[in-house]
Structures are given as C-alpha cells and as structure tokens.
Structure 1
C-alpha cells in the first residue's frame, strides 16, 4: 500500500514523541536508535527514512519546543510610551508560567540539561549556543532601548543587564528542573524577577 504524505508525517511525529520518552528515561548518549524504534513501534529503517542519525533526531526534538515570540516583543518595545523594563519582566514571568505548566517542555529542557554534548552531539550544543546568542542580542537591544528612555539605572550597561537577567532565568529553571522542583517556579520566579528588575530601574 502506498503511504500518503499524511501517513509519513504521522510516523515522523510518532518517532519524535518516542525519542522524547526514551531520551528522558535513558539519556541521549545511552539511548540507541533501536530503543527509539521499539518505543515508537516502527523499524529502524523507518527512523532512518526520516532522520539521518541520532543527532538529526535530537536536533528535531530540540526544535519542537516553541521559542518566545521575540519579534512581537520587539514591536511592543518600539512604542514611544513603552515601559521597557515592565515589558521585559512580564514576558520573562509568562515564560516561567509556561514552563511550570508544560510537562513536554519540562522533559525536553531536562534532556538538554543532562545531555553529554561531546562527540556526535556537539552540533546540538552549537545550535543551542546560536539560539542563546540570538536571545542575548534581543535582550541587549531591549535594555539599550530602556537606557535611551532613561529607564535603566546608570550603573548598568545593556549588556550587563541582559546578562544578569539571562543568568537568573537559566539558573532558576535549571535548579527547578534538575533538583526535584523543590519550589514554586512561577511564584518564586516572579518574585525574583520583580526584585531584579527593580534593581535595574533608574532612580526616580
């Protein structure tokens, strides 16, 4: 029987979902394509039809987590009356809320945090670094906008402010995911953001 494009896409998504479960349980380095095929209920040949190797499959899993809509945030910040730091705080808090309530995102980010990026998986790390660099550029541009409007404290540069926010967000998310979700990410994260953004604001 001839497979349709829809059948092929359904199989592809089935493989990605299986890879998520297997990588989360066994770790990427310890998991094999045979493990993924068994979990997906397909042959190894079916996997290699869609993905060249484990790195290709892992990168597709990585891309399946939606990124923040940075272009929409950038347009909002262009408004003349925009309180830039308030917008940044709101967007960051909304991202924490999303992570706290999205189990798939939690699993994928946990996989990324626990992964050994040596050897064949180094390409995934390079892609993550590229995404991080893009986020930093967006944040720096936002804080530069705040500085232009006199909203950023004079002891901060756009780069130092962006770095402080990035380190806080990555740190709180990593600790929450890796050490048993021992605190309320949404509420305590919002409180930490409130204090950090308050320290970044220019004196009134």
Structure 2
C-alpha cells in the first residue's frame, strides 16, 4: 500500500517522540538507534528514511521545541516602545513561566544539558553557537536602545547586560532541571530577573514639587 505524506509525517513524529523518551531516560550517548526504533515501534530502516544518523535525529528533536534564545528572538524587543527594558524583562519572565509548565520543553532542554557533545554531536554545538550569536545580537540591540533612551545605567554596556541576562537564565534553568527542581522556577526566576533589571535601570530623578 502506498504511503502518503501524512503517513510519513506520522512515522517521523513517532520516531521523534520515542527519541525524546529514550534520550531523556538513558542519555544521547548511551542510546542506539535500534533502541529508538524499538521504542517507536518501527524498523531501523524507517529511522534512516527520515534521519541520516543519530546526530541528525538529535538536531530534529532540538528544533522541535523552541529554546530560550529562539523564543526571545521572536519577541518584538526592537520595537519603538517607550520602555525597552520592560519588553526584555517580560519576554524572559514569560519564557521561564512557559518552561515551568511545559514538560516536553523541560525534557528536551534537560537532554541538551546532559548531552556529551563529542565529535558526533559537534554539529549541535555549531547550531547552538549560531543561535547564541543571533540571540545576543538582538539583546544587544535592545540594550543599546535602552542606553540611547537613558534607561540603561552607564556602568552597563549593551554587551555586558546581554551576557549577564543570558548567564542568569541559563543558570536558573540548569540548576532547576538538573538538580531536582528544588525551587519554584517561575517565582524565583521572576524575582531574580526583577533584581537584575533593577540594576540595569537608571535611577529616575524625583519630580520637583510644584
């Protein structure tokens, strides 16, 4: 019986779902394509029909759920809104709140954090570097606009502010995902971001009494 495009896409999604489960349980390096095929209920040939190798499968899984950098790039932080810092802060808070309730996103990010990026997985690091560079460029533009508008304190440069924000976000997510979710990610993250953005903001002079 001839396979339709919908059949092929359904098989591909079954493989991705199985890879997510097995990679999360065993780690990428310790998982074989035979194990993924068994979990998906397909043959190894079906996997090779859709994916060249395990790295290709991992990259497809990587692309299946937007990660912090991609989510934040999608935000309109380069708009002409009056409070640029508020746009960036809101985008990061929203992303943490989404992560806190989205179990699939949690699994995929945890898989990435646990992965041993040896020579076979070096393509993933290349992809991550590209995303980081795009993300940092957009954030630096937003912080540069905040600086131009007198919103960013002079002791912060756009580049240093972008790096500090990325380090805070990755630190929060890494500790939460890899060490037992020991704190409320959304609440603690919101508070940490508020403190960081307070340090970014210029102190507006009080209006003189009439």
* TM-score of the pair, normalised by structure 2: 0.93
Q: Match for residue 68 of structure 1?
A: 71
Q: Match for residue 174 of structure 1?
A: 174
Deviations 1:117-163 (A, max 9, x none): 01111111111111111111111010001001010001110001111
Q: Match for residue 91 of structure 1?
A: 91
Q: Match for residue 21 of structure 1?
A: 21
Q: Match for residue 121 of structure 1?
A: 121
Deviations 1:170-203 (A, max 9, x none): 1001000000000000000000000000001012
Q: Match for residue 203 of structure 1?
A: 203
Q: Hey, what's the Cα distance between the residues in 2 that align with 1:122 and 1:69?
A: 24
Q: Match for residue 56 of structure 1?
A: 56
Q: Count matched residues.
A: 201
Q: Match for residue 10 of structure 1?
A: 10
- Report if aligned partners of 2:72, 2:92 keep a CA contact under 8 Å in 1: no
| Structure 2: gaps spanning 5 or more residues | 205-210
**Once the 2 structures are TM-superposed, how far is the Cα of residue 17 of structure 1 from its aligned partner?**
0.4
Query: RMSD over aligned Cα, in angstroms?
Result: 1.0
- Report if aligned partners of 2:72, 2:91 keep a CA contact under 8 Å in 1: no
Provide the secondary structure at the position in 2 that maps to 1:73.
Answer: coil
**Once the 2 structures are TM-superposed, how far is the Cα of residue 69 of structure 1 from its aligned partner?**
5.7
**Once the 2 structures are TM-superposed, how far is the Cα of residue 72 of structure 1 from its aligned partner?**
4.1
| Structure 1: gaps spanning 5 or more residues | none
Q: Match for residue 110 of structure 1?
A: 110
* TM-score of the pair, normalised by structure 1: 0.96
**Once the 2 structures are TM-superposed, how far is the Cα of residue 78 of structure 1 from its aligned partner?**
2.3
Q: Match for residue 185 of structure 2?
A: 185
Q: Match for residue 38 of structure 1?
A: 38
**Once the 2 structures are TM-superposed, how far is the Cα of residue 73 of structure 1 from its aligned partner?**
1.4
Q: Hey, what's the Cα distance between the residues in 2 that align with 1:170 and 1:186?
A: 14
